[in-house]
Amino acid sequence: MIGPAKPIGGPTTAPELPRDESDGGSSFKSPLSVFRAQSTTIFLFLVLIALAAFFSVLRPDAFPTPGNAINMATNASVLLVLAVGSTYVILTGGIDLSINGVLVFSGVIAAMAMVALGGDNPLVLLVGLACGTAAGIAWGFLNGLLVAKAKIPPLIVTLGTMGMSLGFALLLTRGVDISDVPDSLVLTVGSGRVAGIPILVIITAAVFVIGTMILAYTRFGRYTYAVGSSPEACRRASIDVSGHLIKVYTLAGLLSGLAGYLSLARFATTTLGGHSTDNLQVIAGVVIGGTSLFGGSGGLIGTLIGIVIPVMLLDGFVVLGLPPFWQQVAVGAVLIIAVYFDQLRRQLRSR
């Protein structure tokens, strides 16, 4: 509309640049590349394989069996649903401590809705699902609003909403678990299998695949990385940073709600006291998986491995007859190492 449109001389008019400018083409050889996300993921995958091999060699009869694999997958599933949401949040440079509180609250709401409706049919199960996820969405939206609009640090916001959601769940139930869950929910979603694979694992796999596709291929995913990498660059590019943050926290809330429903189905009770360290386990998994606490880099493949490694360690220790408490020790140490490497990478970058 204004001034001349391109065309701008052909490539032939571009003079040679000084050497310093021309080394861009070979920057993939930079020593920083060993810290790149893909290398971290490959390294983690090798660690996972090594662990599996280690336990398999020590207990070939008990560890490398289909039953044990399914057991591990089931144990990882609720955590992984939470971790998909947390990966998005941490990629934006935030954190969500409220996921376990929201999980319990959503489970309570879903259970109460199904009890109130009475009966045991697919409609009741769907209403429970809708109420549980709606509760999760509401908490997530509140988190997003407080982080993006009120500019309160996410650590404080979600610490607050963790306490609030858990407190409300205890108030609603007067501290007594609701175990009056429809049998069909427990028998299908909770413990049912299709072709030998638990439905719980299938649902989790679907959530994981969709989450991975959105993150890798869509504008929503791109903005999630961009907002975490440089909010200022996004603002200058007219990206609605606050709006995106609200969406991301709401997504994490939605997935916490879904996880609450899955937990309800699996344990046939609201497990008020059973999720107190889920948030820490999830954040540890995401960070071990290579997603930077500073935001902007990482991904869900890493998160999958970061969640499975602790689950496999616990399973392996139990199979070997070691005290399972060693798992907490090992995961804690791995977490510290992972964050140390992340910091190292940042320091090298800003040099």
Select 21 or 61, whichever has its Cβ closest to another protein.
21
What gap in Å lies between CA 97 and CA 134, rounded to an integer? 19
As measured in angstroms, the least distance from the Cβ of 290 to another protein is: 13
- Tokens for 288? 């071990």
Query: Nearest CA to 140 among 247, 231, 240, 286?
Result: 247
Rg (CA), the chain: 23
Phi and psi, residue 8, nearest 5°:
-110, 130
Select 16 or 61, whichever has its Cβ closest to another protein.
16
Select 22 or 276, whichever has its Cβ closest to another protein.
22
As measured in angstroms, the least distance from the Cβ of 184 to another protein is: 33
CA dist list (Å): 178 to 139, 175, 182, 196 = 21, 9, 11, 29
- Chain residues binding another protein by CB under 8 A are 1-6, 8-11, 13-25, 27-28, 30, 32-33, 36, 214, 217-220, 222, 225-226, 228-230, 232-234, 236-239, 296-297, 349
Select 14 or 195, whichever has its Cβ closest to another protein.
14
Select 101 or 221, whichever has its Cβ closest to another protein.
221
As measured in angstroms, the least distance from the Cβ of 220 to another protein is: 6
Select 151 or 349, whichever has its Cβ closest to another protein.
349
As measured in angstroms, the least distance from the Cβ of 190 to another protein is: 32
As measured in angstroms, the least distance from the Cβ of 345 to another protein is: 9
What gap in Å lies between CA 255 and CA 177, rounded to an integer? 22
Burial class (CB in 10 A: 0-12, 13-18, 19+), 128: buried
As measured in angstroms, the least distance from the Cβ of 52 to another protein is: 31
What gap in Å lies between CA 37 and CA 243, rounded to an integer? 27
Query: Nearest CA to 106 among 84, 81, 78, 138?
Result: 138
Q: 């890798």: which residue's tokens?
A: 216
The C-alpha angle with vertex 221 and arms to 351 and 339, in degrees rounded to 5, equals 40
Strand partners, 188: none
Give the Cβ contact number of residue 60 at 10 Å. Answer: 10
As measured in angstroms, the least distance from the Cβ of 12 to another protein is: 10
As measured in angstroms, the least distance from the Cβ of 31 to another protein is: 10
Select 6 or 174, whichever has its Cβ closest to another protein.
6
- Tokens for 146? 């407080």
Select 22 or 343, whichever has its Cβ closest to another protein.
22
Strand partners, 170: none
* 8-state DSSP, 102: H
